[in-house]
C-alpha cells in the first residue's frame, strides 16, 4: 500500500508544526509521504468526529539492548499476568504472541507503541561494546522506527581527551563511535559517576573528581556540548544528570542545566537546544531525607522556562510495579539497598556500566506519591510545550504503555484529584507538592507539541517526523476523541490514546480499531559523520584494541551491516 494513494478525511487536525489546532480537514498521502492532494481514486479513511495527529515520537525509552534483555530474564514474573500469550486472533493472522508488562517482549513493544500511534522511538542508552545486540533487538521490534544513543560520559577515551581539553579529538572519537555502533547521538549517564563506580565510588556533585581520570562531571558535560556542536549533530547532548533520585538534588540539577548557558545550537537540522535533560522528574527533589522529600518542580522549571537552549522530558512516575534499569550503576546499587529486591549489575569495559532492580511505585508510600506529583508538575509549570516532552523513562518510572494515563492526568484536574484522593497519605503528599493547587489542564494541541512536534525537532528530525505538512512521512494517528466535545470522563481520553482508532505509518495502515493489522516497514536511523581523518584518534583507538585494553578485536567491534538491515542514514558533513 505504500505506493498507493490515501486520504484521511474530515478529522479534527492537530498539527503544531503548522499551528493547526482542531480545524476540520483532510490529510492526503502518496508514496509514503504526505502530499497536497490526491486523485479521487485514493483510498478514503474516515476520521469524522475524531482527532488526527502526526505519528508520535518518543525521545527517551529503554526498549532494546543487553540491559533490557537482562531485565526480561531476571523477571519472569513480569510476564505472568500480562500480555496476550494466546491471542487466537493474532496467531491466526500471523502475529507474534506478546508478553511482559514493564519489560515487554520486542513484539509487544512494537505493537503497543503502534497501538498508541507512535512512529519513532529513541533507545536511550546503548553500551557501545554491546551495540550489535542493541541493533539485533531493534531489528526484531516490529513497526516502529528506532535509533539508539551510545553512552559517552564515562568512556575512557572521552575522559582522557576532555581532561586535556581536546574537544576536536573528542569530536573525532564521537564520529568514529557513532559510525562503529550505528548510533544516533551523544548520551550522558551520570557523567563520571558510573566510571567512579568501578572504584566503588560515585560523583553526586558536578565537581566531584572522577578517580584516576581527574576530571569532573561539569567538565565532561561542557566538553561534550562543545564536541556535539563542533560536529553539528542532529540531536544535542542527551543528559541523565548526576545525583539521580536523591532528596535535595534540585540545586545540582539547576547547576548542570546552567552549564548550557552561552552555547548556541550549530546544526542544519532545525534543532535549537544544546542540552536535552532527560527524566527531569528524578532530578527535581527537595528535602534532606525521605521524611521531608518534596517536589522542587517549580524551581527547576522556572529555570528551564527562561533558558531557551534546553529541552527536557518528564520521566513521569505512573504508580506501577516496574523494573528500573540504567547505565547509572551506582544508583541501582543504592536502590537495591532501599528495597532489598533482586539486583543485577554489570560493567562494560572502558565504556559504561548498568544495573537493574525491580521497583514498586506505591501510591500509599509518600515519597512515591511525591514523585508522581513532581513529574506532572514539571509539565504543568512548563511554558514552552515544544521543549517539554512526555516520557516515563520507560521502564524506570513506569512502562511506556502508561503514556495515555499521563496524558489523562495532564489534561484533567479531575483525574489528578481522583488519584490524589485514592492515596492513603494524601494530606502529607499535598503538603510536600504543589499539584493539588494547580488548575492547569493541558490542551490536545499542547499534548501534540509534547509528543510530536517537540521531540521530533529536538532530535533534529522535524523535517520528516512530528507533523502533517506535505513532504513529511505519512505517519498519521486517528484517535476517537471529539475535539469540539471532549468527554467529561477523563478515562475516555486515556482509552482513546491507548488504542488508536487508526494508525498509518509510511502510508500503510498499521492499526485499525486498536488492533495491529500490519508489521509495517520499520527503519533503523543512525547518524554518519563525514570528516577528515584524525590520525591521533585513529591511532588511540587502534592501540586500545591492539594493546589489549579492550578484550575484543577492533574487527569484531563495529555493528555489521546485516544486523541493521533497514537503515536510514543521516549524513553530517564536517569541514576541516
Partner 1 sequence: MATVTLKPTRVPELIFEGYSITPDAFAGKTAAQIAALPGHEGKIHVTIGDFFAVSGDAGATAAETDIVIDGDCSRVKYIGSKMTAGTVTVNGNADMYVGGWMKGGRIHIRGNMDSFCGIQMEGGELLCDGNAGNHVGCAYRGDWRGMKGGTIRIKGSAGNDIGTFMLGGTIIIEKNAFIHVSTHAEGGTVIIKGDVEGRVGGQMVKGEMYVLGKIKFMMPGYKKVDTVEKEVDGVKATFDHYIGDLGERHPKSKGQVVYANLYLKAAA
Q: State the minimum distance, in angstroms, from the CB of residue 133 to partner 1.
A: 22
Kindly report the backbone phi and psi dihedral angles of residue 8, in degrees, each rounded to the nearest multiple of 5, phi listed first: -95, 115
Q: Which of 86, 92, 264, 484 binds partner 1 (CB under 8 A)?
A: 86
Number of residues located near partner 1, criterion CB under 8 A = 13
Q: Which of 30, 75, 238, 522 binds partner 1 (CB under 8 A)?
A: 75
Closer of 91 and 93 to partner 1 (Cβ): 91
Q: In angstroms, how far is the first alpha carbon of the chain from the final one?
A: 44
Q: Per CB under 8 A, which region of 168-176, 336-344, 349-357, 452-460 contacts partner 1? A: 336-344
Q: Which residues have C-beta within 8 Å of that of residue 76, sequence separation ≥ 6?
A: none
Rounded CA-CA distance 421/415 in Å is 10
Q: Which residues have C-beta within 8 Å of that of residue 322, sequence separation ≥ 6?
A: 102, 358, 359, 360, 361, 395, 396, 397, 398, 399
Question: Is residue 342 within the footprint of partner 1 (CB under 8 A)?
Answer: yes
Closer of 53 and 74 to partner 1 (Cβ): 74
Q: State the minimum distance, in angstroms, from the CB of residue 338 to partner 1.
A: 12
Got the DSSP string for 351-373?
A: TEEEEEEEEE--TTSHHHHHHHH
Which grid cell sits at 308? Answer: 531557551
Question: Is residue 198 within the footprint of partner 1 (CB under 8 A)?
Answer: no
Handedness of CA 204, 205, 206, 207 (dihedral sign): negative
Q: Per CB under 8 A, which region of 76-84, 208-216, 259-267, 417-425 contacts partner 1? A: 76-84
Q: Which of 18, 43, 91, 306 binds partner 1 (CB under 8 A)?
A: 91
Report helix, strand or coil for 410: helix
What letter does residue 514 receive in the DSSP assignment?
T
Report helix, strand or coil for 412: coil
- Residue 144 near residue 114 (C-beta atoms within 8 A): yes
Q: Which of 31, 77, 417, 491 binds partner 1 (CB under 8 A)?
A: 77
Which grid cell sits at 6? Answer: 490515501
Tell me which residue of 310, 175, 328 sits closest to 236, measured CA to CA: 310
Name the one residue in this structure whose C-alpha cell is 564521537: 174
* Greatest distance between any 2 Cα atoms in the chain: 69
Which grid cell sits at 466? Answer: 512530528
Closer of 358 and 506 to partner 1 (Cβ): 358
Angle (CA) 132-135-140 rounded to 5° is: 130
Q: State the minimum distance, in angstroms, from the CB of residue 82 to partner 1.
A: 13
Q: State the minimum distance, in angstroms, from the CB of residue 108 to partner 1.
A: 17
Question: Is residue 93 within the footprint of partner 1 (CB under 8 A)?
Answer: no
Report helix, strand or coil for 207: coil
Question: Is residue 471 within the footprint of partner 1 (CB under 8 A)?
Answer: no
Q: State the minimum distance, in angstroms, from the CB of residue 80 to partner 1.
A: 6
Tell me which residue of 231, 230, 233, 284 sits closest to 257, measured CA to CA: 284
Closer of 80 and 569 to partner 1 (Cβ): 80
Report helix, strand or coil for 386: helix
Tell me which residue of 203, 172, 201 sits closest to 188, measured CA to CA: 203
- What mask of x and - would describe binding to partner 1 in positions 349 to 388, judged by CB under 8 A? ---------x------------------------------
Closer of 140 and 321 to partner 1 (Cβ): 321
- Residue 202 near residue 196 (C-beta atoms within 8 A): yes
Q: State the minimum distance, in angstroms, from the CB of residue 319 to partner 1.
A: 18
Closer of 337 and 471 to partner 1 (Cβ): 337
- What mask of x and - would describe binding to partner 1 in positions 296 to 335, judged by CB under 8 A? ----------------------------------------
Closer of 340 and 484 to partner 1 (Cβ): 340
Q: How far is CA 505 from CA 20, 32, 403, 421, in A?
A: 21, 8, 19, 40
Q: Which of 180, 341, 438, 554 binds partner 1 (CB under 8 A)?
A: 341
Q: Which of 23, 31, 48, 76 binds partner 1 (CB under 8 A)?
A: 76
Closer of 74 and 265 to partner 1 (Cβ): 74
Q: Per CB under 8 A, which region of 75-83, 248-256, 372-380, 386-394 contacts partner 1? A: 75-83
Q: Which of 48, 80, 291, 308 binds partner 1 (CB under 8 A)?
A: 80
Q: How far is CA 180 from CA 176, 290, 429, 514, 526, in A?
A: 6, 43, 48, 38, 11
Q: Which of 27, 57, 70, 74 binds partner 1 (CB under 8 A)?
A: 74
Question: Is residue 48 within the footprint of partner 1 (CB under 8 A)?
Answer: no
Binding footprint of partner 1 on the chain (CB under 8 A): 74-78, 80, 86, 88, 91, 340-342, 358
Amino acid at each position: 500500500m505504500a505506493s498507493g494513494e490515501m486520504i484521511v478525511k474530515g478529522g479534527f487536525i492537530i498539527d503544531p508544526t503548522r499551528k493547526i489546532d482542531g480545524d476540520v480537514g483532510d490529510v492526503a498521502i502518496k508514496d509514503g509521504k504526505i502530499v497536497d492532494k490526491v486523485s479521487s481514486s485514493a483510498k478514503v479513511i474516515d476520521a469524522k468526529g475524531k482527532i488526527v495527529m502526526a505519528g508520535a515520537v518518543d525521545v527517551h525509552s529503554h526498549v532494546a539492548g543487553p540491559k533490557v534483555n537482562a531485565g526480561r530474564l531476571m523477571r519472569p514474573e513480569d510476564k505472568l499476568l500480562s500480555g496476550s500469550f494466546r491471542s487466537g486472533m493474532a496467531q491466526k493472522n500471523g502475529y507474534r504472541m506478546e508478553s511482559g508488562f514493564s519489560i515487554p517482549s520486542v513484539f509487544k513493544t512494537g505493537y503497543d507503541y503502534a497501538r498508541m500511534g507512535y512512529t519513532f522511538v529513541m533507545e536511550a542508552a546503548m553500551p557501545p561494546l554491546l551495540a550489535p545486540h542493541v541493533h539485533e533487538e531493534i531489528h526484531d521490534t516490529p513497526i516502529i522506527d528506532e535509533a539508539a544513543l551510545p553512552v559517552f560520559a564515562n568512556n575512557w577515551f572521552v575522559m582522557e581527551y576532555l581532561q586535556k581539553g581536546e574537544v576536536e579529538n573528542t569530536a573525532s572519537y564521537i564520529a568514529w563511535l557513532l559510525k562503529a555502533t550505528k548510533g544516533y547521538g551523544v548520551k550522558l549517564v551520570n557523567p563520571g559517576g558510573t566510571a567512579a563506580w568501578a572504584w566503588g565510588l560515585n560523583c553526586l556533585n558536578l565537581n566531584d573528581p572522577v578517580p584516576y581520570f581527574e576530571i569532573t562531571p561539569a567538565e565532561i558535560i561542557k566538553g561534550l556540548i562543545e564536541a556535539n556542536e563542533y560536529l553539528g549533530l542532529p540531536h544535542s547532548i542527551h543528559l541523565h544528570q548526576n545525583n539521580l533520585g536523591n532528596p535535595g538534588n534540585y540545586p545540582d540539577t539547576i547547576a548542570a542545566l546552567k552549564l548550557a548557558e552561552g552555547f548556541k545550537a550549530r546544526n542544519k537540522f532545525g534543532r535549537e537546544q544544546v542540552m536535552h535533560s532527560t527524566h527531569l522528574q528524578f532530578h527535581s527533589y527537595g528535602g534532606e531525607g525521605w521524611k521531608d522529600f518534596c517536589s522542587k518542580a517549580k524551581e527547576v522549571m522556572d529555570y528551564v522556562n527562561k533558558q531557551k537552549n534546553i529541552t527536557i522530558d518528564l520521566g513521569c512516575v505512573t504508580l506501577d510495579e516496574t523494573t528500573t534499569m540504567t547505565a547509572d550503576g551506582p544508583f541501582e546499587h543504592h536502590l537495591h539497598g532501599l528495597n532489598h529486591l533482586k539486583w543485577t549489575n554489570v560493567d562494560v569495559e572502558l565504556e559504561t556500566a548498568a544495573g537493574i532492580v525491580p521497583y514498586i511505585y506505591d501510591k500509599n508510600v509518600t515519597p512515591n506519591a511525591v514523585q508522581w506529583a513532581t513529574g506532572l508538575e514539571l509539565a504543568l509549570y512548563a511554558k514552552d510545550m515544544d521543549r517539554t516532552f512526555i516520557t516515563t523513562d520507560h521502564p524506570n518510572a513506569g512502562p511506556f504503555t502508561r503514556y495515555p494515563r499521563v496524558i489523562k492526568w495532564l489534561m484533567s484536574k479531575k483525574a489528578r484529584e481522583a488519584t490524589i484522593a485514592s492515596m492513603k497519605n494524601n494530606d502529607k503528599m499535598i503538603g510536600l507538592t504543589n499539584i493539588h493547587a494547580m488548575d492547569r489542564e493541558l490542551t490536545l494541541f499542547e499534548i501534540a507539541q509534547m509528543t510530536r512536534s517537540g521531540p521530533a525537532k529536538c532530535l533534529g528530525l522535524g523535517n520528516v517526523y512530528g507533523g502533517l505538512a506535505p513532504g513529511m512521512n505519512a505517519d498519521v494517528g486517528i484517535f476517537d476523541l471529539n475535539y469540539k466535545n471532549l468527554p467529561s470522563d477523563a478515562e475516555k481520553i486515556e482509552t482513546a490514546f491507548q488504542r488508536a482508532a487508526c494508525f498509518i505509518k509510511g502510508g500503510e495502515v498499521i492499526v485499525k480499531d486498536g488492533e495491529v493489522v500490519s508489521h509495517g516497514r520499520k527503519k533503523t536511523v543512525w547518524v554518519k559523520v563525514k570528516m577528515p581523518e584524525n590520525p591521533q584518534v585513529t591511532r588511540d583507538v587502534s592501540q586500545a584494541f591492539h594493546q589489549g585494553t579492550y578484550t575484543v578485536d577492533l574487527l569484531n567491534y563495529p555493528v555489521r551491516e546485516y544486523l541493521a538491515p533497514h537503515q536510514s542514514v543521516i549524513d553530517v558533513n564536517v569541514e576541516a
